Amino acid sequence: MKYRNKIEIVADILSVAREGARKTHIIYRGNLSFKLANIYLDVVVRAGLIRFDSDNGHYLLTEKGKRFLGKFHKYSKYAKNLEKQSTLVNKEKVSLEEMCFATNLPNNNDNLVKGDEPNKGNEVKQVGNKYSYKKLG
């Protein structure tokens, strides 16, 4: 299960209230506890994103709430693209590291001399992203 951040929870509540919804409907469709729903409903009403219609007991999306949802969907699309790009960049970084360091340098947790590798007789230490070499003997 993916945990939602505050903005995602607000967007879920607004989406449910788009056509008008009772609190129980928001709790159920928004996947919220009663306590959390009360907290967030208070927040979004105070922010002017939804309003409560006491005549029929429904929460309704306001114009500001519609603008919020539009901006949220745009943000969500950007974030998803950025996440994909970040994943690709990290895969390329790992590939490059494997090409350079797979047989020549110790793993991040190692701090020892590699016996049969090209740097035999050298001590190789990694500190952060940097490597230092020390001639033994």
Q: What helix, strand, coil percent values describe the chain, rounded to 5?
A: 50, 15, 35
Q: For residue 21, give the DSSP letter.
A: B
Q: CA-to-CA distance for 107 and 116, rounded, in angstroms?
A: 15
* pLDDT of 58: 96
Contacts of 20 (CB under 8 A, 6+ apart): 53, 56, 58, 59, 60
Rounded Cα distance, 43 and 12, in Å: 13
Helix (H, G, I), strand (E, B) or coil at 94: helix
Does residue 10 carry a pLDDT above 60?
A: yes
What pLDDT is attached to residue 115?
46
What's the pLDDT tens digit per position in 102-135? 666 555 555 544 444 545 555 666 666 666 556 5
| pLDDT for position 97 | 85
pTM above 0.75, yes or no: no
Q: What angle do CA 41, 46, 52 make, to 5 degrees?
A: 60
Q: How high is the pLDDT of residue 99? A: 85
> pLDDT (tens digit, 9 = 90+) per residue, 27-73?
999 999 999 999 999 999 999 999 999 999 999 999 999 999 999 99
- Cα 128 → chain centroid: 25
For 67-104, how does the pLDDT look when each residue is reduced to its tens digit (9 = 90+)? 999 999 999 999 999 999 999 999 998 888 888 886 66
